[in-house]
Amino acid sequence: MPETATRTGWYLKTLTVVALAAAAGFGGFKLGHNEAVAVLTVNDNEDPQVGRPVTPGAEVVAGDSPTVRLSSEAEAALGVKTAAVRTAPHSDSLMLTGSLLLDSNRLAYVHSRFSGEVVSIGTIAPLAHEFAAQQGGLRPIRVGDVVKKGQLLAVVWSKEVGEKKSDLVDALSRVNTSRTTLERLEGLERGAVSVQIVREARRTYEADLIAVDRAERTLRSWRETEEEIQEVHKEAERIRNGGKQCADHYRETWANVEIRAPLDGTLLENNVSLGEIIDSNMVLFKVADLSRMGVLANVYEEDLPKLTSLPATQRQWQVRLKSEPEIAAIEGNFEVVGNVIDPGQHTAAVIGWISNPQEKLRVGQFITTEIKLPAVSDAVVVPNSAVIDEGTRAFVFVADKSAEHQYQIWPVDVLRRGRDYALLAKNSTATSESAKQHPPLQEGERVVTAGNLELYGVLQDKAATVAASKTATTKTN
């Protein structure tokens, strides 16, 4: 049977024993000085005090800290490889992934203020290669067109607007009549009519003035322009002067409501067509200013303190498109670090902005962001593969400078993890006796990057053997 399969089966059988040994900590590895003990294993069919060697040529060396000594053959069999410890760089970076989104402050949902029928769609000058340009005319606006603030998007024929304009015409007509009546009564000789009749005529005139003002204010509140209101005054004057027929174009536009772009931007949605009946709740157009894009990235829970500790002046990032990594990074800032952790990914949202002056970026594109972090003092860098995680603790195996093929396990504090490397504190905060024996990790020391799990297994085997031996001795006594 292959050695790997044998070890796997044995670990399943001795899970309880290993757990007891692990609870005792690394203090259980401390043996007498100048003593070497062969590594033994325990299973449910063996005498735990006898056992058998798991890895020939591997032994636990006595001392203040757990150390494994290998023969050259055992080292080759385990595939042990090492890498040098490096001093932490002067600056570090945090890489996040995410996507581009619309800036909600630069996005407009265009509605009609009134229900009605769409009688016209706005037009725009076509591009040089389009068919309409070849015909020398304009074409209707469509998704993707760039529009200017105030540009006509559509015209809606509304019954409500037509009725309110007619109300204003009626009020103007009545105020003209009541004004004429009042002027004539006031021009009569005193005593020709009673004072009460004059007062009632004046009150009627004032009421008609109020009706005119109310109708005008209503039209203004509906965003009708002063030119349109003056056109209503002209209509009332036409009727007063004998009822001349108004111009055809004015008759056709009497109840029109113009839908115009609220800002400069790109037309992202066009939800209407000519002749369609709409209501005021319907989103007719969506216009967005794409000169600035939002960036939504995800940061892992353990990296949150690195971002929240940055002052506002240092909350900057460089954004790159995943689809076009060769394009230069775009500088930007992030302003919001989310307060809600995604329960599935254990990430929080980070939101910021980048400029998009040429509008080449697209909403929803995948991006990567790089955030420069200040350097951490008293820290070193090792490959990620060198770090062994066990619950909340972490360890590395360090090659002994004084003895060849000998590796000592050191508890470490992981400050930050990158894609390939981990940032470790030089001094561990672990409180165990073995941890206190370790000097700070120094640049140039060698840590095990391959075969370290097997070395850790040797120590676990030893812990299980010692625990089983103590249990057997207690039962015998």
Concatenate the DSSP letters of all residues of 361-398 into one string. Answer: --TT-EEEEEEEEEPPSSEEEEEGGG-EEETTEEEEEE
Whether the predicted pLDDT of 334 surpasses 60: yes
DSSP 312: G
Assign 476 a pLDDT band (cuts: 50, 70, 90): low
Cα 88 versus chain centre, distance: 29
Q: What is the pLDDT of residue 469?
A: 62
- E strand spans, 158-282: 256-260, 265-270, 277-278
pLDDT confidence tier of residue 25, bands split at 50, 70 and 90? very low
Task: Determine the pLDDT at residue 4.
Answer: 39
Higher model confidence: residue 22 or residue 129?
Answer: 129
Q: In the structure encoding, which two tokens stand for residue 178, read together?
A: 């009541």
C-alpha 233/C-alpha 241 separation (Å) is 12
What are the beta bridge partners of residue 374? Answer: 91
Laid out side by side, the sheet with 86-87 consists of: 86-87, 379-383, 421-425, 414-417
Whether 125 and 138 have beta carbons less than 8 Å apart is answered as: yes
Q: What is the mean pLDDT of residues 298-323?
A: 87
Who contacts 372 (Cβ-Cβ below 8 Å, separation ≥6)? 91, 92, 93, 314, 316
Sheet containing 285-288, strands listed edge to edge, beginning at the edge strand earlier in sequence: 107-110, 285-288, 265-270, 146-147
The confidence score (pLDDT) of residue 38 equals 34
For residue 36, what are the β-bridge partners? 61
User: Where is pLDDT greater, at 130 or 314?
Assistant: 314
- 149-to-19, 102, 232, 330 alpha-carbon distances in Å: 71, 18, 26, 28
Dist. CA 120–CA 112, nearest whole Å: 13
Report the candidate in 476, 470, 465, 467 with the shortest Cα–Cα distance to residue 53. Answer: 465
Convert 16-50 to b/e letters by CB count within 10 Å (16 or more is b). ebbebbbeeebebbebeeeeeeebbbbbeeeebee
Which residue's entry shows tokens 């297994």? 457
For residue 7, what pLDDT is reported? 40
DSSP 8-class letter at 290: T
Query: Would you state the pLDDT for residue 32?
Result: 33
Above 50 in pLDDT, residue 1?
A: no
Q: What is the pLDDT of residues 336-369, one digit of tens each?
A: 999 999 898 889 999 998 888 888 888 999 999 9
> For residue 324, with 0-12 CB atoms within 10 Å meaning exposed, 13-18 middle and 19 or more buried, which class applies?
exposed
pLDDT digits 0-9 by tens, 401-415: 888 888 888 888 888
Q: Which amino acid makes up residue 95?
A: M
Which pLDDT band, with edges at 50, 70 and 90, does 240 fall under?
confident
